Each structure stands twice: as C-alpha cells, then as structure tokens.
Amino acid sequence: MPRPALVLSIACALLAGTADTALGQTEQPNADSVQTLAPGEPFLAEIIANPARTPAFVERDRYRHPRQTLMFFNLSPQLRVIEMNPGAGWYSEILAPYLRYGQYVAAVPRAAADSGAGRRNAALQEKFNATPALFEGSEWLEYEPAAPILGPPNSADRVLTFRNVHNWVAADTADAYFKAFFDVLKPGGVLGVVDHRAKPGTSLDDMKKSGYVTEELVIELATRAGFRLDDRSDINANPLDDTAHPNGVWTLPPVGRHDAADAQKYLAIGESDRMTLRFVKP
C-alpha cells in the first residue's frame, strides 16, 4: 500500500527548503537531471532527504552512499526486498518508505530476548511500531540463524546484506546464508552485498579476526550457491583505509575501538573500505 502521509510530508519538506539541510551532501534532482536518472531514483532522493530520518544516520550518508548503492542494486519501488539483519535500522529508514508499492522485509535472526541480538531485534521492532509513517506495511521475518529460510522459494526480487558477511564467515555459517538467498530469490533476482574489503590474499583466520573479507571469498560463496557475479562497484571504497588496524575494522568509526589519543587519526580515515557486489540468480 502507498504511504500518502509520508509522501505528503516529503513534499512539504522539499517545498519548505528543509530537505537539503536534512541531508547535506545529497543533491535533489532538477527538471533537467531527472531525465538522466534511473527509474525510481528521483523518489529515492526524496526519501533520503526526508527530515524524519535519524540525524545520526544522515551523518553517515557520506560513507554509505545510499542513493548510488541502492541504484546499483537496481531497486525500484514495486519490488519485494529482503534486508538481512537491519541492526538499528539505518537502511530500513530508506528502504521501507521507498518500497511503497512493493514490500520491505526486515529479516532478523531468532534470538533469546536477553541476548545482544534479541535486544537489537526488540529495539528495531519498537522503532517500527513507533514510526508508522516510515515503516507502515513492512514485514518482520525471524529466521533460524543455523539454518536460515527467508520465505517461499522464488518469492523475492532482491536480497540485500550490508556488512554482515564477515560475521557469517567468522561463525562458519556463510554457505547456509548464501543458499538461503539463492532459494528465496526469483530467477533473475539480485543479491546485493556490501562488506568490509580485505586485501587480496588475506588468510581466512585473519579475515575472521579483523572483520574484513576478500572479494574473492564473497564471490566464491555466492558462486558456490548458484549465483552469477553481475557487476562490482567502488561506490563504497575508501582508499584511506589500509585495513591494518589493532582491533580490526572495529577500530574505525562508527565503533571506534581504539585509544582516546588516536581518535582524530581514525576519524580522518573514516569508515572502512567496502566492496559492493551485485549477483544475479540465473
């Protein structure tokens, strides 16, 4: 179902001139540039500029490039899209209202209420319930992390995962996840992957410790599950990140696990160097 209240609020914000300040580095398309944008991209730019987004999330747009990333994954508003492990809902705030004629599915691992994952799930669910203008019509899906099933076979148009693969690699469950992605996607469906990028030749043990994984490993996992690599992009690359940090990727923002004296050093690097890969189910 469309979300008229949200669409109206975005339109009012744009007319009032507040959208540009809500998202400092995102340009709103003008009448000339709209002609060169991908289908659905002008509306996506409005969603990203919505002042209802969490301000702390907006600050991270410069590292996460949501408009370019989602367009690279060939999104449009009528698709059924599963986001894996949305965490605090950074991408949820964009995806849920954008998929106004389709379906946004938040897929989270089933977990005990008093565990870290359980508390994250509860906080995200509370956020969904408290902000219907953003999340009305979203679907909540809990899966078994040891043997994930994400819905009926051939039922989703997109599966998106942002900075999760390294966790599955560390837990030795990555193959099960990629199989679940392949099973739930329709033929021609897209798997979009963003993750912290390790240097080529990094050992599996070092990947598990550092949180960085090689593109080669992710491509191998996807190919083994049946996917075809369709394209790769440096949208989320960060050449300042040499990946050699005392506490792995968690040394960098937003976690910032480092000595206080090194704060400016790691802020100057910014968030991690990331791969952006698009796979297709034949």
**Statement: residue 24 has pLDDT above 90:** no
pLDDT band at 100 (very low <50, low <70, confident <90, very high): confident
pLDDT in tens, 55-87: 999 999 999 999 999 999 999 999 999 999 999
* Cβ-based neighbour number of residue 202 at 10 Å: 17
Maximum C-alpha span of the chain: 53
Can you give the pLDDT at residue 40? 75
pTM: 0.87
Give the Cα separation of 233 and 278 in Å (integer): 8
Please state, in angstroms and as integers, the Cα–Cα distance from residue 174 to each residue in 149, 161, 222, 230, following that order: 13, 12, 9, 20
pLDDT band at 35 (very low <50, low <70, confident <90, very high): very low
**Statement: residue 19 has pLDDT above 60:** no
pLDDT in tens, 156-213: 999 999 999 999 999 999 999 999 999 999 999 999 999 999 999 999 999 999 999 9
Can you give the pLDDT at residue 36? 53
Task: Decide if 141 contacts 150 (C-beta within 8 A).
Answer: yes
pLDDT band at 41 (very low <50, low <70, confident <90, very high): confident
Mean pLDDT of 84-97: 97
Can you give the pLDDT at residue 42? 84
**Statement: residue 95 has pLDDT above 60:** yes
Tokens standing for residue 86: 């949305």
Can you give the pLDDT at residue 133? 87
